[in-house]
Structure 1
Amino acid sequence: MALLIFVFLFVTFILAFLRLLSGNHRRLPPGPKGWPIIGNLPQLGPKPHQTLHALSKTFGPIVSLRFGSVNVVVASSAAAASQFLRTQDANFSNRPPNSGAEHVAYNYQDLVFAPYGARWRMLRRLCALHLFSAKAMEDFRDVRRGEVDELVRELAKKVGEAVDVGGEVNTCATNALTRATVGRRVFGGKDEREGAEEFKEMVVELMKLAGVFNIGDFVPGLAWLDLQGVVKKMKKLHGRFDEFFDGIIAEHREAEEKADSDGKRSDMLSILIGLKEEAGREGIKLTDTDIKALLLNLFTAGTDTTSSTVEWALAELIRHPNLLKQAQIELDSVVGSDRLVSESDLPNLPFLQAVVKETFRLHPSTPLSLPRIASKDCDIDGYLIPKGSTLLVNVWSIARDPSMWPDEPLAFQPERFLMGGLHERVDLKGNDFELIPFGAGRRICAGLSLGLRMVQFMTATLIHAFDWGLVDGQIVEKLNMEEAYGLTLRRAVPLVAKPMTRLAPKAYPKDV
């Protein structure tokens, strides 16, 4: 037995020595030591994006961690993100296995978590063509106008009252999206306000669960225990979403059967149902499960991220009355006081656009990018990134990097994006890696164009049509700006404020 042990150790030593001689001794990026079995998971804390930001200050812009049996690499600088998402984009085009995709997103049959390949490209093309292309954006312009008018109408009825800003904006964003997606408002009248609140709660719960680093994803031997109770909650939530989408599809089919056979509907759901009968360009047919998985992506990612960003933007402007006034002066000079702002006004509102960019910088809707996985070994900055490593890009940290944002990186300063500012040429479309709230590379957010348009349009409307005051007892300087971590970055305390009309009475939509 002693001889066998000696031989084993000797062979191990020789192999290690030969590996060194061959030059194949690239090292992993630096990082903190982890615990036995579970690695660095306990060190993440309640706000992992902030913890990982602090680690980057100690270990550098590329940090290596171990979550259970999984190698994890975190990129926290624009240069590092560019290497991963541009230079090595093809290598990191897939998602790692995770319980959320399995138990909520119909076992990877959605767009967000689907494996990269023909089916993913088909789903992406469908969304681009029928929802997010320039033509689709123009086709549904009146839909967005109608829903924003409805938002203004509802707020005008509550002048001087405390309003849940995020809730109102979420209903507007959801209905604008569902009218384009399924051809009707999902939450349309007074009797449906309760349904809108319930749906929002479901989306918030989903984002919270999706942001949990589930031990079972990283230590497979412990998955069956569901130590955090995450999988149980996911399965229950999936059942609620599944029932909701079954109802929408059934109602849609019934409406189509009753409609004139000559009148073809152009909404996204009609097109998806049509693809159940005919194979797409890649010869792929869709099932009801595929359709529900895609609707899940659109109804969740397309609503919560938008409404949260608008809520953050308004909170920052309330905290900075001088900036709010500057934005209102710009709107008044371009739009006037006799009508509401329209989408066609947006290109003529550079300060408003700067406000939105600065909001995305300080409050990115997804603070940690959705994870990607390395298909093969690669080299980044001289470090080995082994095959199977999970990549996280800390979007929140990059946007606070003083080497990229030397002009007070923690301050809310929209002027940095104006002509003459240090970042006047920076955009949000994944080309400038110091600001990538929608991601970058081939997995960049499919709904970037619509999400950005809705955030700009709703933010402009809220501050043009209304002045805003805080509820009794609150002062601007102490407005709570704490973050609540999840897959999306929500406010820990929802923004509650009082709207006050500021335009001519004829500018406001009247009840029909």
Structure 2
Amino acid sequence: MQLSLLSERLLSRACNQWKWWWEASSERDELARALLTVSLFILPIFWILWIASKSRKAGVAPPPAPPGPHGMPIVGYLPFLGTNLCRSFTELAEQYGPIFKLWLGKKLCVVVSSPSLAKEVVRDHDAVFANRDPPRTGLAATYGGLDIAWSPYGAYWRATRKLFSREMLSNTSLEASYNLRRDEVRKTVREVHGKIGSAIDIEEVAFLTAFKVAMAMLWGGTVDSQRVGNIGAEFRMATAKMVELMAVPNVSDFFPMLARFDVQGLEQEARQILKQVEQIIDPIIEAGLNMGAVRKEELRNEGRKDFLQILLGIKETGGAEIALGLEEIKALLIDIVVGGTETSATTVVWAMTEIMNNPEIMRRVQDELSNIVGMDNVVEESHLPKLHYLNAVLKESFRLHPPLPLLVPRCPSESSIVGGYTIPKDTRVFLNVWAMHRDPEVWDEPSKFKPERFLGGTGNWDFNGNNFQFLPFGSGRRRCPGIPLAEKMVMHVLASFLHSFNWHLPGNEEIDLSDKFGIVMKKRTPLMAIPTPRLSDSKYYD
């Protein structure tokens, strides 16, 4: 009885609370009643539609992974890869298409071999693919990835790249350091002239020239030129070992669970090479730290830009977006010197090899130099923009012999769709530039050295990655930051070598065009060539 009475009271109270709905006493109450009535009908409909949409999305499978070889349990496709990854990847692309996957141990890799798909990676999804997947040896050699090349995409990378570009590679900085570059190139020409009639190692000469230029720009005010010359050979040996080490397949990269054991001892070897480099640069940094105020003032008065002093100044004052310690400074210096010298020297070697292998091309290059520079003059950087045929020769050399044939592997920060296929987060992504530059669907007679293909303004063939058929320096956020300096240096060295000297091989030797795979694709055998004077007067070699 009491329960029934209580129920009636609750019902009566509820009716009184909602009585306004059906008994509107004013226009405002009538409008509210109408809105609530409509809401009670519409909201359930929206809810039903949302549930249906969610169900449909849950039922749609994401795009599949790219096709690719199955490999073997545990080791994946590792046992079947040859010593030259460019060629192995190109052969797999012929079978599976321009994008394919393969497992290397526990590491999922995707290889892209077409310009259109490369564009999706480096332009359409650039931010997603802006991370690196550094090898363990790379991390060991750069204090855990504190350099520009291997550091992950983020605030540190952006700040260091901005610092490098602003302080070393801006137009103002390059103009200010022109005398340094010109002096080192002329010293090289003089040294080569002193070896007339003798076979010289083109790579060694080109490396030391690029090395001295880099050193002069980095810490030319801190250390004297004689000291720079003495350490060049030491640095070249260390750099060569490091580049070679990066190409060695490392179990730690393919089976991360084994990384802490360093089964092959490669990380330990990388740290030993780093110590050798530190023995070279630590005294220079120490000298920079102890440089007196008088010497600093002299450098300012001379207008010399010393990158080391800039970095040390940031370390002391904190005038940057990031904190710079000694390890960060050393990582940046090593990265710039190694990246700038090894690739530049390799490019000069390949260009000289192809020119010497094609006498008609040699004749056309030297005729252009005679017309633009003159036989009673030496090459200046102001001549370089007018050397159109030599520029085409250089680009054709980059096409056939890209210094980094697979560029530097990228690593997506999230799952992404490329070419209609899903590439999961943390996949190692290779761009097979070597294959793209030799694709018969893109290039006429792709295996032939034809500089003429870059003449006539038929395409935007710059080095900045704007034409995805031609990516010697990469594209997007992670393209090589040293392009402006590298282009000037390589062109200046090549022009000076070819304008100042005629070249021929020792004895009855023939040109060897075979390469040796590595993170930097080098010539398998050294290019030994004999110079003879070409200019009208010996004073032009002084």
Q: Tell whether the structures are fold-level matches, with TM greater than 0.5.
A: yes
Match of residue 274, structure 1, among 310, 313, 322: 313
- The 5 A counterparts of 1:217-256 are 217-256=253-292
Q: Does structure 1 retain, via aligned residues, the 8 Å contact 2:212–2:232?
A: no
Looking at structure 2, the residues matched to 451 and 181 of structure 1 have their Cα atoms a distance apart, in angstroms, of 15
Looking at structure 2, the residues matched to 254 and 185 of structure 1 have their Cα atoms a distance apart, in angstroms, of 10
- The 5 A counterparts of 1:90-105 are 90-105=127-142
Q: Does structure 2 retain, via aligned residues, the 8 Å contact 1:416–1:424?
A: no
Looking at structure 2, the residues matched to 185 and 358 of structure 1 have their Cα atoms a distance apart, in angstroms, of 38
Looking at structure 2, the residues matched to 228 and 393 of structure 1 have their Cα atoms a distance apart, in angstroms, of 27
Q: Where does the alignment leave 5 or more consecutive residues of structure 2 unmatched?
A: 1-54
Match of residue 126, structure 1, among 147, 163, 174: 163
Q: Does structure 1 residue 138 correspond to structure 2 residue 175?
A: yes
CA 1:295–1:193 in 2, change beyond 3 Å: closer, same or farther?
closer
By how many angstroms is 1:130 displaced? 1.4
Residue aligning to 2:115: 78
By how many angstroms is 1:187 displaced? 9.0
1:452 is matched by which residue type in structure 2? E
Residue aligning to 1:65: 102
Residue aligning to 2:407: 369
Q: Does structure 1 residue 493 correspond to structure 2 residue 525?
A: yes
By how many angstroms is 1:266 displaced? 2.7
Looking at structure 2, the residues matched to 388 and 256 of structure 1 have their Cα atoms a distance apart, in angstroms, of 48
Looking at structure 1, the residues matched to 541 and 520 of structure 2 have their Cα atoms a distance apart, in angstroms, of 32
Q: Does structure 1 residue 387 correspond to structure 2 residue 425?
A: yes
By how many angstroms is 1:108 displaced? 1.2
| Superimposed CA distance per residue, residues 169-226 of structure 1 (whole angstroms, 9 cap, x where no aligned partner) | 111101011111112597944x876632221111111111122331211202232443
2:91 is matched by which residue type in structure 1? A
By how many angstroms is 1:90 displaced? 0.5
CA 1:108–1:99 in 2, change beyond 3 Å: closer, same or farther?
same
Comparing 192-201 with 110-119, greater Cα deviation is found at 192-201
Q: Does structure 2 retain, via aligned residues, the 8 Å contact 1:309–1:359?
A: yes
Q: How many residues align?
A: 485
| Superimposed CA distance per residue, residues 5-29 of structure 1 (whole angstroms, 9 cap, x where no aligned partner) | xxxxxxxxxxxxx999712242111
Q: Does structure 1 retain, via aligned residues, the 8 Å contact 2:215–2:228?
A: no
Residue aligning to 1:107: 144
Looking at structure 1, the residues matched to 479 and 224 of structure 2 have their Cα atoms a distance apart, in angstroms, of 29
Q: Where does the alignment leave 5 or more consecutive residues of structure 1 unmatched?
A: 1-17
By how many angstroms is 1:230 displaced? 1.7
Q: Does structure 1 residue 312 correspond to structure 2 residue 338?
A: no
Match of residue 209, structure 1, among 216, 224, 245: 245
Q: Does structure 1 residue 402 correspond to structure 2 residue 431?
A: no
Q: Does structure 1 retain, via aligned residues, the 8 Å contact 2:185–2:493?
A: yes
By how many angstroms is 1:408 displaced? 0.4
Q: Does structure 1 retain, via aligned residues, the 8 Å contact 2:231–2:280?
A: no
Q: Does structure 2 retain, via aligned residues, the 8 Å contact 1:376–1:386?
A: yes
Looking at structure 2, the residues matched to 411 and 492 of structure 1 have their Cα atoms a distance apart, in angstroms, of 19
Q: Does structure 1 residue 455 correspond to structure 2 residue 455?
A: no
By how many angstroms is 1:101 displaced? 3.1
The 3-state SS of whatever aligns with 2:128 is: helix
Match of residue 478, structure 2, among 443, 450, 459: 443
2:388 is matched by which residue type in structure 1? P
Looking at structure 1, the residues matched to 288 and 533 of structure 2 have their Cα atoms a distance apart, in angstroms, of 38
% identity of equivalent residues: 36
Q: Does structure 1 residue 480 correspond to structure 2 residue 507?
A: no
CA 1:298–1:483 in 2, change beyond 3 Å: closer, same or farther?
same
Q: Does structure 2 retain, via aligned residues, the 8 Å contact 1:372–1:390?
A: yes
Residue aligning to 2:126: 89
Looking at structure 2, the residues matched to 380 and 331 of structure 1 have their Cα atoms a distance apart, in angstroms, of 45
| Superimposed CA distance per residue, residues 248-291 of structure 1 (whole angstroms, 9 cap, x where no aligned partner) | 20122334456265754631100000011222442x22101000
The 3-state SS of whatever aligns with 2:429 is: strand
CA 1:52–1:19 in 2, change beyond 3 Å: closer, same or farther?
farther
Residue aligning to 2:387: 349
Aligned-residue CA RMSD in angstroms?
2.0
Residue aligning to 2:47: none
Residue aligning to 1:10: none
1:272 is matched by which residue type in structure 2? L
2:398 is matched by which residue type in structure 1? F
Looking at structure 2, the residues matched to 230 and 369 of structure 1 have their Cα atoms a distance apart, in angstroms, of 21
- The 5 A counterparts of 1:142-181 are 142-181=179-218
| Superimposed CA distance per residue, residues 433-476 of structure 1 (whole angstroms, 9 cap, x where no aligned partner) | 1111111100111101111111111111111111001011313x
CA 1:357–1:126 in 2, change beyond 3 Å: closer, same or farther?
same
Looking at structure 2, the residues matched to 352 and 285 of structure 1 have their Cα atoms a distance apart, in angstroms, of 43
The 3-state SS of whatever aligns with 1:109 is: coil
Q: Does structure 1 residue 29 correspond to structure 2 residue 66?
A: yes
Looking at structure 2, the residues matched to 142 and 262 of structure 1 have their Cα atoms a distance apart, in angstroms, of 17
Looking at structure 2, the residues matched to 49 and 184 of structure 1 have their Cα atoms a distance apart, in angstroms, of 42
TM (norm. structure 2) is 0.86
Looking at structure 2, the residues matched to 139 and 445 of structure 1 have their Cα atoms a distance apart, in angstroms, of 22
By how many angstroms is 1:383 displaced? 0.6
2:310 is matched by which residue type in structure 1? I
The 3-state SS of whatever aligns with 1:30 is: coil
Q: Does structure 2 retain, via aligned residues, the 8 Å contact 1:343–1:457?
A: yes
